[in-house]
């Protein structure tokens, strides 16, 4: 029993190391002078000398601050639009018999088959006409195309997991639809809602294709970091990439008490 | 309040669950709907509550047709089998919820919640989470939430089925006490005939989508109108033998285990199993092709041949009681 437990920890440790190694090298590059990172053929894997110079260089220009704010705005907007649409959609689907809701869910997910590059261009054309080109709202709407199906699936699963009796009880207790949502349905689906918001937010946070097509000039962080790195500003880019992960960590930490593995079960119940 | 069900019909696809139920439930009655699982008892309650719409028929409460009112406008209280406590609220807020939804003033809510909490002896768990309390406590909280306001009547869907045997007996008595205190109409659904017999003013036996018989517990026990009811009601089903055994040709004779005199008479059967309850013995016997159960005070053992005489009986023809 104890041995198998230890084995699980070892396996978990190895897996985490595998996933975290790229992040570790990123941190090495970001906080060390280039003579230990970019210049040697075999850079050392343990930090030799720490410096904040790269970060200072990255933060001293406005080059990264504007895109950072733009990314925050876009991601937050994507999260909110997604929830506003996916909550009613997920609720409606959860109350349909599964022989109806399942095909609909599959159909919704199929919309993500189309590569973003292909639909991004016609969207750009339409957005130029509609005045949404180069705007946060426009980009957020386009990114919602991808997040909405996922969020709908998650929330469908979440709402399905809430017993019908609970809703019936609320009706009998005199709650109208609005109050049922406010006091019973939404509070009890907080984990699913948090997961749906988080997944939408994070998707938008590092989304690249729509960002470069719909907001090519003053774009979000992923696009800006990309252009910077291709222009050779590798150190500042690395330093800022580290900063780039901070909001994701904060958000995940803040929402984790709602998660508790429900994100996965929420998704699976939707398919069942 | 009186509740009148007029020709209630409910189908799911091609399955007819309720097949034209017409029944008047009197004011202040403890009306038990009894039936085997899957008979449509819960569906009937949900129709009365307004959660399900009947395919046809009417529900009239105190002369007012409420068939088309949504549940939140019917002013009824219901306790679900699962209790349906709101997991996001503590005990206090669960009980206060129906009052809050009806915009009672804050101090009135407080007064009423404290009052029912005292009545049901749950004052000390008022601020606990509903997931942290025992099954018996959850059942009381659900009941408290139902009685905290003044509903027109109460609907209870097997509220005791999730309790262990001892708690169930206590809760049964408590429920009866509350019924007598509130003097309101209760409609209570159960599959447990013992529970029905011990609580009901009247019992309606639901079978094949209709009330096969409606009557007091004693009526149902002593004069079941069909063979099906006779075998469903009672700790042991009613015995049925050909009428010849009591000299009634062309009928079937139905009798309870205690309606016999064991140890005399010229009928004989062989014991194949027995159950001892205190100083009473229920003898399961083979009588020809049929199996019967007799109540005896004398000790008998498996394999014994027992002489008995039927002292009291009902006559049945084609599965229905023949009035005499």
Model confidence over B292-303: pLDDT tens digits? Answer: 999 999 889 999
Q: Which residues of A touch B84 (CB under 8 A)?
A: 163, 165-166, 168-169
Q: Is the pLDDT of residue A2 over 80?
A: no
Q: Which of B49, B86, B102 sits opposite A174 (nearest CB)?
A: B102
Kindly list the distances between the CA atom of residue B166 and the CA atoms of B17, B143, B161, B177, in Å, as whole numbers in the listed order: 33, 18, 12, 17
Is residue A4 classed exposed, middle or buried when 0-12, 13-18 and 19+ CB atoms within 10 A define those classes?
A: exposed
Q: Which residues of A touch B150 (CB under 8 A)?
A: none
Say whether B72 and A168 touch across the interface (CB within 8 A). no
Distance separating alpha carbons of residues A98 and A119, to the nearest angstrom = 31
Interface confidence, given as ipTM, is: 0.84
Q: What is the mean pLDDT of residues B166-190?
A: 90
Q: Is the pLDDT of residue A192 over 50?
A: yes
Q: What is the model's pLDDT at position B245?
A: 87
Model confidence at A262, in pLDDT bands (50, 70, 90)?
Answer: very low
Q: Which of A165, A171, A188 sits opposite B71 (nearest CB)?
A: A171
SS3 of B59, please? strand
Q: Which two tokens stand for residue B252?
A: 């079937």
Distance separating alpha carbons of residues A256 and A244, to the nearest angstrom = 19
Q: What is the model's pLDDT at position A62?
A: 63
Q: What is the mean pLDDT of residues B188-210?
A: 93
Q: Is the pLDDT of residue A272 over 50?
A: no
Q: Is the pLDDT of residue B269 over 90?
A: yes
Mean pLDDT for all residues in chain B: 92
Q: Is the pLDDT of residue A76 over 90?
A: yes
Q: Which two tokens stand for residue A163?
A: 């017993």
Q: Is the pLDDT of residue A97 over 50?
A: yes
Q: Is the pLDDT of residue A86 over 70?
A: yes
Say whether A172 and B86 touch across the interface (CB within 8 A). no
Q: What is the model's pLDDT at position A61?
A: 66
Q: Which two tokens stand for residue B288?
A: 């020809």
SS3 of A121, please? helix
Q: What is the mean pLDDT of residues B171-197?
A: 91
Q: What is the mean pLDDT of residues B206-218?
A: 94
Residue B218: which of B233, B235, B238 has the closest Cα? B233
Distance separating alpha carbons of residues B133 and B163, to the nearest angstrom = 13
Q: What is the pLDDT of residues A21-46, one digit of tens each?
A: 988 988 888 888 888 888 888 888 88
Q: What is the mean pLDDT of residues A69-75?
A: 93
Nearest CA in chain B to A177: B72
Q: Which residues of B touch A187 (CB under 8 A)?
A: 88
Q: Which residues of B touch A158 (CB under 8 A)?
A: none
Residues 6 or more apart in contact with residue A72 via CB below 8 angstroms: A247
A69-266 adopts what CATH topology?
Answer: MetI-like fold (1.10.3720)
Q: Which two tokens stand for residue B209?
A: 């989508």
Q: What is the pLDDT of residues A201-232, one digit of tens each?
A: 999 998 999 999 999 888 898 898 888 778 87
Q: Which of B51, B77, B145 sits opposite A168 (nearest CB)?
A: B51
Model confidence at A241, in pLDDT bands (50, 70, 90)?
Answer: confident
pLDDT top residue among A3 and B288: B288
pLDDT top residue among A254 and A176: A176
Q: What is the model's pLDDT at position A180?
A: 92
How far is A171 from chain B, CA to nearest CA, in Å? 5
Q: What is the mean pLDDT of residues A83-100?
A: 93
Q: Where are the alpha helices (DSSP H) in A133-233?
A: 136-160, 164-172, 177-179, 186-188, 190-205, 209-214, 221-230
Nearest CA in chain B to A173: B98
Q: Which two tokens stand for residue A158?
A: 């979440």
- Residue spans per domain, chain A: 69-266
Residue in the block written with tokens 């309101």: B184
Distance separating alpha carbons of residues B278 and A67, to the nearest angstrom = 85
SS3 of A149, please? helix
Model confidence at A235, in pLDDT bands (50, 70, 90)?
Answer: confident
Q: Which two tokens stand for residue A117?
A: 């590059």
Q: What is the mean pLDDT of residues B98-118?
A: 94
Model confidence at B285, in pLDDT bands (50, 70, 90)?
Answer: very high
Interface of B with A in 70-99 (CB under 8 A): 70-72, 74-78, 80-82, 84, 86-89, 97-98
CB B48 within 8 A of CB B60: no
CB A28 within 8 A of CB A239: no
Q: List residues of A whose CB lies inside 8 A of any B CB.
A: 163, 165-166, 168-176, 179, 183-184, 187-188
Model confidence at A264, in pLDDT bands (50, 70, 90)?
Answer: very low
Q: What is the pLDDT of residues B116-166, one digit of tens each?
A: 999 888 999 999 999 889 888 999 999 999 999 889 899 999 988 888 888
Element (H, E) at A136: helix A136-160
Q: What is the pLDDT of residues A117-134, one digit of tens each?
A: 888 899 999 999 999 999
Distance separating alpha carbons of residues B126 and B140, to the nearest angstrom = 11
Q: Which residues of A touch B103 (CB under 8 A)?
A: none
Q: Is the pLDDT of residue A265 over 70?
A: no
- How far does chain A reach from its first CA to its final CA, in angstroms? 33
The pTM score is: 0.79
Say whether B88 and A175 touch across the interface (CB within 8 A). no
Q: Is B115 on the interface with A (CB under 8 A)?
A: no
């Amino acid at each position: 029993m104890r041995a198998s437990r230890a084995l699980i920890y070892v396996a978990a440790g190895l897996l985490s190391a595998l996933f975290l190694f790229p992040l570790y090298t990123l941190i090495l590059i970001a906080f060390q002078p280039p003579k230990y990172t970019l210049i040697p053929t075999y850079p050392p894997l343990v930090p030799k000398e720490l410096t904040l110079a790269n970060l200072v260089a990255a933060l001293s220009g406005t080059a990264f601050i504007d895109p950072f704010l733009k990314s925050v705005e876009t991601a937050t907007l994507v999260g909110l639009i997604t929830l506003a649409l996916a909550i009613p959609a997920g609720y409606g689907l959860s109350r349909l018999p599964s022989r109806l809701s399942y095909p609909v869910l599959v159909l919704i997910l199929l919309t993500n088959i189309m590569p973003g590059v292909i639909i991004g261009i016609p969207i750009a054309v339409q957005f130029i006409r509609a005045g949404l080109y180069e705007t946060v709202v426009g980009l957020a709407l386009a990114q919602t195309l991808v997040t909405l199906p996922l969020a709908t699936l998650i929330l469908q699963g979440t709402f399905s997991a809430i017993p019908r009796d609970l809703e019936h009880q609320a009706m009998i207790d005199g709650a109208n639809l609005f109050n049922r949502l406010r006091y019973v349905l939404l509070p009890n689906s907080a984990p699913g809602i948090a997961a749906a918001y988080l997944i939408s937010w994070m998707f938008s946070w590092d989304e690249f294709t729509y960002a470069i097509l719909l907001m090519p000039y003053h774009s979000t962080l992923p696009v800006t970091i990309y252009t910077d790195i291709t222009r050779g500003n590798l150190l500042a880019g690395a330093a800022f990439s580290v900063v780039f992960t901070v909001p994701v960590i904060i958000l995940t930490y803040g929402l984790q008490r709602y998660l508790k593995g429900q994100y996965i079960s929420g998704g699976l119940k939707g398919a069942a | 309040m009186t509740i009148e069900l007029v020709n209630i019909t409910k189908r799911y696809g091609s399955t007819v669950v309720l097949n034209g139920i017409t029944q008047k439930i009197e004011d202040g009655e403890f009306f038990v709907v009894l039936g085997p699982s899957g008979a449509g008892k819960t569906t009937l309650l949900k129709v009365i509550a307004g959660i399900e719409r009947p395919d046809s028929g009417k529900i009239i409460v105190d002369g007012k047709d409420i068939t088309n009112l949504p549940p939140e406008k019917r002013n009824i209280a219901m306790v679900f089998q699962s209790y349906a406590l709101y997991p996001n609220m503590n005990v206090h807020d669960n009980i206060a919820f129906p009052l809050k939804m009806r915009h009672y003033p804050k101090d009135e809510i407080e007064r009423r919640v404290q009052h029912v909490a005292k009545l049901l002896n749950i004052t000390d768990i008022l601020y606990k989470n509903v997931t942290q309390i025992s099954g018996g406590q959850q059942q009381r909280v659900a009941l408290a939430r139902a009685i905290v306001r003044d509903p027109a009547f109460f609907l209870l869907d097997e509220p005791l089925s999730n309790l262990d045997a001892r708690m169930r007996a206590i809760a049964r008595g408590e429920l009866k006490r509350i019924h007598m205190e509130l003097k309101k109409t209760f409609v209570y659904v159960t599959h447990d005939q013992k529970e029905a017999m011990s609580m009901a003013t009247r019992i309606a036996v639901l079978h094949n989508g209709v009330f096969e018989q409606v009557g007091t517990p004693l009526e149902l026990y002593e004069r079941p109108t069909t063979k099906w009811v006779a075998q469903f009601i009672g700790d042991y089903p009613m015995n049925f033998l050909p009428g010849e055994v009591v000299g009634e040709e062309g009928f079937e004779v139905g009798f309870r285990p205690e309606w016999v005199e064991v140890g005399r008479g010229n009928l004989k059967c062989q014991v194949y199993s027995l159950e001892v309850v205190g100083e009473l013995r229920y003898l399961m016997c083979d009588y020809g092709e049929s199996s019967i159960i007799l109540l005896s005070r004398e000790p008998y053992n498996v394999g014994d041949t027992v002489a008995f005489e039927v002292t009291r009986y009902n006559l049945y023809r084609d599965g229905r009681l023949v009035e005499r």
